[in-house]
Amino acid sequence: MKITELLDIDSIDLSPQVTDKEEAIYHLIDLLDQSGKLNNKELYKESVLNREKQSTTGIGDSVAIPHGQSEGVQTAGLSAMVVKEGLDFKSLDGKPTYLFFMIGAPKDSGGAHLQALAQLSTLLMDEDFRNSLIHASSKEEFLKLIDEKENVKEEVKEVTHPAVLAVTACPTGIAHTFMAAKALQQAGEALNISIKVETNGQEGVKNQLTQEDIEHCKAIIVAADKKVEMARFEGKKVIQVPVRDGISKAQELVEKANNGDGEIYHHEEKKEKQNIIRLFYKHLMNGISHALPFLVTSGVLYGILYLFKDQVLTNQLLILTSNVQQLISIMIIPIISAYIADSIADRPGMLSGFAGGLIVCQGISITSISTSSPSLLAGIIAGFLAGFVSLMLIKLFSYLPQCLKGIEASLFHPIISTIIVALLMFYLNSYLYIGHTYILNYVSFVESQISTKVLFGFVLGMMMAIDNGGPINKTAYVFGIGILISYDYYPMAAVMAGGMIPPFVIALTATLFKDRFEVRNDALMNYINGISFISEGAIPFIQKESQIILPACCLSAGLAGALSMYFNCSIASPHGGLFLIWMVQNPISYLSLIVCSTLVGTILLILFTKLKKES
């Protein structure tokens, strides 16, 4: 849907009489209402103000886009106004706002308002276009400028076959995925090389590469730390790198792809040519990324049940919630096992991986049915075992007569692979639970003594900051998840605290010292990254000054992890950051230690900066 289809001429005002942020919002709502888009103005106003409480919608560069999704909206629409003298809208860049758009979306419109927000934001990145709207002499000219801008954009898309294609994907699908995509797109623009980037994030595949795109491109960059669909690239030149390289080496990668560098990709040979450690990491992260929504949902439901623990046995709704939470928890390890196997052997490995994971989480073994807590380690082993058994069977079944090929995938493979994996896990489970119990006992021993407990938290916190989303960070994160599944919630709180500190340090430093970073707006956005437990927001700044910023972030993140363990803070969810502060045990202490660690990190960063200059 075009912007001009959402924006009526009656909902535009080029000379409004507003003096502050509140008046601006109310006037935009009135404009939307008089264009017939609202059926309950007060209800919609409430949704807009609630959104504004979360964070300002003044996105900077003279623009604000307040928005809301509400039952008070009858039809999706926009209103717009220009304040030629500028208005303090509390924007992220701290500068006056001149150009205002308001988005109204019905409650049941899914992500309609987000799509409109994304489309508007993209158009408004052009400074000349923003200025032309601000200086429009009439409403008709205002609409015409938007229409011309949209049409130019669409024409470019229709006639271009990108020279370079890219796919970005990370385990959580939140930060690295889109940061790498943005970096590659910017590199393409800087080098005047046409590029199209597909993202594999938490919302699924976006901007998907078409077969026509693939046929016409020179090469494909795959910057991913989890499984992506590769068979479609058969016979094309492909450059495969970790997702971090998509961020830090974007220009180099785009240049190589445009020059036709890279190896000819053959789907059947892909696994033999990759580094074994990277392969292990990639398969593991594929399992963890698919299980993450289950882990978060289970943790949140557990937190709700904990709040009402005295009523769980008597309230029917809480009983139902408890049952759902237990079922989701049971699914976590089988999902990890299944998607590890899927990453290794594609779809044929999923069923046996799922069966192996179920055997692990039920504790079934040759000796007895274990009553100990679920073992993530055993689930990971089951996934890898299922994957390699499936690869072996695929090789063996390649010798079958052609007349049996039709039932190989639907009958022979799933039954035989499941039987083999089930028997192996049935035998191995007893020994794996011994190792699992040893790890839990060791963690319990460490947590029983205050000195080792604090040191343990310091190490976990520092690991989360040392490469911000890289292998060391993910090692600490997976360890926290493994212990979390076994119902020890203290390490996860330390891990989450450590991961929030680097972006907070960057943001606070940018707030106190306006000229410290070249792009202050990006630095200030790290407040949102920190609150959301997205430590990757600190990466661009650390990469530029790793000798100064990295030590400050690591030490302060370690301090946060240590204090979290010292104050016995715990959380039952592996993601969510401060949005889930209500789930944290000892929330006041947790907030205090995060503030304290951020201050320490900021002081260290400024101190290290001065020492660097003096030397």
Active site residue 67: yes
8 Å CB contact between 226 and 286 = yes
Q: CB atoms < 10 A from the CB of 268, how many?
A: 9
How many residues are recorded in the chain? 615
Closest CA to 242 of 467, 551, 498, 424: 467
- Write b or e for each residue in 582-604: b if 16 or more Cβ atoms lie within 10 A of its Cβ, otherwise e: ebbbeeebbeebbeebbebbbeb
Report the DSSP beta bridge partners of residue 188.
Answer: none
Encoding tokens for residue 296?
Answer: 């978060």
DSSP run (H or E) holding 413: helix 413-448
Encoding tokens for residue 239?
Answer: 């450059």
Encoding tokens for residue 241?
Answer: 């790198």
DSSP at 349? G
Q: CB atoms < 10 A from the CB of 328, how many?
A: 19
At residue 44's C-alpha, the angle toward residues 31 and 76, to 5°, is 65
d(CA 31, CA 8): 10
Q: Which of 27, 67, 290, 436 is catalytic?
A: 67
Q: Which of 27, 113, 170, 553 is catalytic?
A: 170
Alpha-carbon torsion 313, 315, 316, 317, what sign? negative
8 Å CB contact between 161 and 212 = yes
Q: Is 326 helix (H, G, I), strand (E, B) or coil?
A: helix
d(CA 298, CA 393): 35
Active-site residue list: 67, 170
